């Protein structure tokens, strides 16, 4: 054989190797782009045709039932194909390849007894190469290729190449299945969490059957349907955050985030960064860009607790966001739009703050679109036994043991003034539960846990009450002033340093029945 004799075959071999390397490179790029299998696999088959001349090709993958395979991608077949075609293990050349779990090479497809010509997918006169697609130790499908009839002498090389491509496809299929399963798990967990949250923050979990609380529940039901700004007002410990959560999780925004911030917990410079975010390098320590609470709450609800504590200068910045829905991060120039429902809460008298110039009047009216006033516990003593039982169940879950409370213990919290309201009552019950050896909370444990049996001083029969007494709460001070003024509201207002309008507002919000003199 002359030296020049084998050169054409060698050159053909080199060309083939270059084509397969280019094909593998392009296939790997296609597979790395997306986990949408049908589109990705169709693109892979197109690349195999362009680079290596596989003018007919298909990929089958196992069905969810694991008993059959269906077409996931098809190339080079123009005739109409039944979309319901399925292969069981061992059925046709496709099912045989899966059953063998190793490559199947046929020089002329029509000569194979398993060839199902009626399905019209393959050319019976051309060669056939079937490569199993494996994900781990499991065969999850088949890559079927048909080269041209003139390529029979290279079938072994084609089969080896097809097996490499099938292995790449198998890795993508396994990753795609893992991602789909993780998405299903996440969706299921999300749905479970949503159900749990709705149950936890539903109306059934807010204890109260007095007329005042029924009015609050009705206000929540009405306002939850809309994006109206809400101002929740009430003393410390009355459950303002619980009301805000009930509004959010019973609103169309329930699928969005519920973000909360205590405005009294941060100084003004940090509060601005916390609410609006900051750009990298905006101030010392700002090493990265950071989103603020408004951006985090986009599409959901932002709960601003202790809104009455913010400074006058920061009130102007907050007002713009509430009015325009626009903000700039600290150190940034780009204006960001946010879709946020704001629920604010305070235990302060904002009307007095406005008159004293400590709170902007325009911000007050922007927040006070829908006010909800929560009554203190002393004004709904009928609810205390039920609240106490609810709190006992809560503490029981925290301690992991059964707890019970006696009727005599339930009667004690109804007698005293409760400046801490539900929060103080919860602390008292938790302390009593800690000291209970057998899980029973009785009258003595309630008394030694911090509650004193005290009776509110009688008004109008035993001398003048000191209006500056720090032991008096707001309602008692107003009643005492009214009694000293003979229930003349103007005189009582002067005693308290208020205007007649302010004391009339207190009488209404504190549910004081005016005595006719």
Residue 207 forms part of a structural domain: no
Percent of the chain with pLDDT over 90: 24
The predicted structure's pLDDT at residue 2: 38
- Report the alpha-carbon distance of residue 342 to residue 319 in Å, rounded: 12
Residues 123 and 265 in one domain: no
Residue 276 forms part of a structural domain: yes
pLDDT in tens, 431-474: 899 989 999 998 888 877 655 444 333 333 344 566 777 667 78
Structural contact between residues 373 and 243, judged by C-beta atoms closer than 8 angstroms = no
Integer CA distances (angstroms), 40 to 27, 54, 172, 173, 175, in order: 9, 17, 10, 10, 13
The predicted structure's pLDDT at residue 4: 41
The b/e string for 27-60 (b: 16+ C-beta within 10 A; e otherwise) is: beebbeeebebeebbbbbbbbbbebbebbbbbbb
Q: Which residues contact 95 (CB under 8 A, 6 or more apart)?
A: 69, 87, 88, 89, 114
Residues 396 and 356 in one domain: no
Collapsed DSSP state (helix, strand, coil) of residue 233: strand
- Report the alpha-carbon distance of residue 360 to residue 365 in Å, rounded: 9
Q: Which domain holds residue 483?
A: 474-510
Q: Of 364 and 515, which is predicted with more confidence?
A: 364
Average pLDDT score over the chain: 83
pLDDT at 515 over 80: no
Residues 52 and 66 in one domain: yes
- Report the alpha-carbon distance of residue 121 to residue 119 in Å, rounded: 6
Confidence of residue 368 (pLDDT cuts 50, 70, 90): very high
Least confident of 147-156, 168-177, 246-255, 301-310: 147-156
The predicted structure's pLDDT at residue 201: 63
Q: Which of 341, 375, 409 is the last residue of a domain?
A: 375
Q: Which of 349, 375, 401 is the last residue of a domain?
A: 375
For residue 235, with 0-12 CB atoms within 10 Å meaning exposed, 13-18 middle and 19 or more buried, which class applies? Answer: buried
pLDDT in tens, 310-333: 988 889 889 988 988 888 888 888
pLDDT at 371 over 60: yes
Residues 313 and 429 in one domain: no
Collapsed DSSP state (helix, strand, coil) of residue 179: helix
pLDDT at 478 over 80: yes
The predicted structure's pLDDT at residue 364: 93
The predicted structure's pLDDT at residue 196: 67
- How do strand 326-328 and strand 335-337 relate by DSSP bridges? antiparallel
Residue 515 forms part of a structural domain: no
Residues 327 and 344 in one domain: yes
The predicted structure's pLDDT at residue 7: 41
Give the total number of structural domains in the chain: 4
DSSP 232: E
List phi, psi (to 5°) of 424.
Answer: -65, -40
- Report the alpha-carbon distance of residue 275 to residue 214 in Å, rounded: 34
The predicted structure's pLDDT at residue 462: 40
Q: Of 8 and 100, which is predicted with more confidence?
A: 100
**Looking up tokens 């949408």, which residue turns up?**
36
The predicted structure's pLDDT at residue 294: 93
- Report the alpha-carbon distance of residue 45 to residue 41 in Å, rounded: 6
Mean of pLDDT values over 339-356: 93
pLDDT in tens, 273-288: 889 988 887 777 778 8
Residues 160 and 240 in one domain: no
Strands (E) across 238-340 are located at 258-262, 277-278, 290-291, 301-305, 326-328, 335-337
Q: Which neighbouring-strand residues pair with 61? A: 70, 141
**Looking up tokens 């940034």, which residue turns up?**
332
Residues 168 and 23 in one domain: yes
Nearest to 144, CA basis, from 153, 136, 133, 157: 133
Q: What is the DSSP string of 443-481?
A: HHHHHHTT-----PPPSSSSS---TT-TT--HHHHHHHH
């Amino acid at each position: 054989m002359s030296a020049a004799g084998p050169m054409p075959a060698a050159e053909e071999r080199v060309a083939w190797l270059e084509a397969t390397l280019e094909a593998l490179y392009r296939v790997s790029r296609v597979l790395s782009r997306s986990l949408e299998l049908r589109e990705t696999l169709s693109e892979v088959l197109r690349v195999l045709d362009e680079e290596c001349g596989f003018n007919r090709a298909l990929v089958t993958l196992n069905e969810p039932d694991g008993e059959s395979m269906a077409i996931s991608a098809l190339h080079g077949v123009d005739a109409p194909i039944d979309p319901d075609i399925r292969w069981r293990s061992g059925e046709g050349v496709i099912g045989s390849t899966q059953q063998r779990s190793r490559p199947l090479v046929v020089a002329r497809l029509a000569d194979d007894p398993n060839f199902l010509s009626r399905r019209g997918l393959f050319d019976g006169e051309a060669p056939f190469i079937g490569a199993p697609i494996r994900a781990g130790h499991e065969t999850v499908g088949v890559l079927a290729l048909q080269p041209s009839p003139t390529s029979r002498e290279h079938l072994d090389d084609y089969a080896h190449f097809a097996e490499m491509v099938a292995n790449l496809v198998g890795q993508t299929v396994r990753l795609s299945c893992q991602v789909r399963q993780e998405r299903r798990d996440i969706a299921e967990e999300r749905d479970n969490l949503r159900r749990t949250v709705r149950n936890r923050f539903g109306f059934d979990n807010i204890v109260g059957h007095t007329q005042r609380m029924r009015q609050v529940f009705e206000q929540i039901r009405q306002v939850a349907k809309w994006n109206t700004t809400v101002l929740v007002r009430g003393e410390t410990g009355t459950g303002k955050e619980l009301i805000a959560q009930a509004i959010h999780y019973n609103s169309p925004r329930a699928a969005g985030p519920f973000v909360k911030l205590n405005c009294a917990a941060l100084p003004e410079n940090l509060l601005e960064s916390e609410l609006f975010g900051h750009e990298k390098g905006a101030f010392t320590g700002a090493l990265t860009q950071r989103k603020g609470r408004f951006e985090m709450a986009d599409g959901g609800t932002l709960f601003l607790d202790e809104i009455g504590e913010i400074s006058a200068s920061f009130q102007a910045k907050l007002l713009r966001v509430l009015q325009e829905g626009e903000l700039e991060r600290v150190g940034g120039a780009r204006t960001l739009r946010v879709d946020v429902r704001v629920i604010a809460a305070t235990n302060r008298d904002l009307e007095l703050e406005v008159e004293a110039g400590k709170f902007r009047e325009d911000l007050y009216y922007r927040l006070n679109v829908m006010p909800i006033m929560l009554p203190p516990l002393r004004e709904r003593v009928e609810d205390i036994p039920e609240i106490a039982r609810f709190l006992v169940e809560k503490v029981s879950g925290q301690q992991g043991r059964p707890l019970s409370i006696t009727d005599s213990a339930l009667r004690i919290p109804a007698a005293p003034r409760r400046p801490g309201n539900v929060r103080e009552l919860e602390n008292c019950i938790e302390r009593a539960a800690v000291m209970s050896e057998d899980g029973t909370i009785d009258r003595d444990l309630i008394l030694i846990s911090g509650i004193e049996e005290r009776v509110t001083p009688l008004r109008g029969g035993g001398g003048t009450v000191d209006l500056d007494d720090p032991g008096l709460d707001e309602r008692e001070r107003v009643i005492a002033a009214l009694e000293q003024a003979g229930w003349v509201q103007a005189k009582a207002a002067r005693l308290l340093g208020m205007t007649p309008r302010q004391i009339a507002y207190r009488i209404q919000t504190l549910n004081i029945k005016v005595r006719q003199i």
